[in-house]
Structures are given as C-alpha cells and as structure tokens.
Amino acid sequence: MSKKILLVDDSATSRLASRMLFGKQKNYEVISACDGEEAVETALHERPDLILMDIEMPRMSGLEACKILKQKEATKEIPIILLTTRRGDSFVQEGYANGCSDFLTKPVDGAKLIAVLKAHLGE
C-alpha cells in the first residue's frame, strides 16, 4: 500500500527535485502545496501519511502551518518533517516547539531523507 506524502515548498525547483527522488521509491504518492496556507488546506482535505515542509515560505511559514496542523484533531497525528536552509539551534527548538517530528537542513541528502521518511512512516 502506498504512502501519501505532502510536499510543501515555495520553490518549484525544490519540489521537482524531491518528486524525482520520491519517483524512485515505488510506494510513495506525492502531492504538493506551494506555501503554509495551502499546506493546511491540502492536509485537511487529503490526509497525507507524512508532511515534508519548508519553513520559509510566503503567506504562511512552515512553522505556522505546523502549529496549526498539530492543533487540529484531523491532522495532529501526521508526522511533519521541516526543511530549512538556515542552521542554528533556535530554528530546531522552534520547530519542535511547534510540533514537528523531525528537522532537516537543505540541501538534503537523498539517502538521509528517504531514511527519515521510512522511520516516520514505520517502514
């Protein structure tokens, strides 16, 4: 049975790179959103198995979207992995404080990303 992953990034290039990586994995269905606001709407409608979300986006950041999704009954159990180009403990702490399950820095190593996904999806 395939797992549905919601990929959230305002960069079309990043979304394409991730789709290419996931395309090599047979058991993932990838849906996408362009910002945090769209991510919340899509997650509520699609109920993905996991959300992979950039932090810095227009309209609503990944941190804000994460916080909203973790407060909603329908989406609070979905693992959220946050992605950022910034390094630093304050971002990591803020991510976990808002309910994220894991945190990766860009550029993300493909093998590491797949390993983290499998861990959170129980594979």
Per-residue pLDDT tens digits for 62-108: 999 999 999 999 999 999 999 988 777 777 888 899 999 999 988 88
Is 3.40.50.2300 the CATH classification of the domain at 3-120?
yes
pLDDT tens digit sequence for 13-63: 888 888 888 877 778 899 999 999 999 999 999 999 999 999 999 999 999
Q: In angstroms, what CA-CA distances link 88 with 14, 43, 44, 85, 94?
A: 21, 28, 31, 10, 10
Q: For Cα atoms 94, 97, 101, give the angle at the middle one, nearest 5 degrees.
A: 100
pTM (two decimals): 0.93
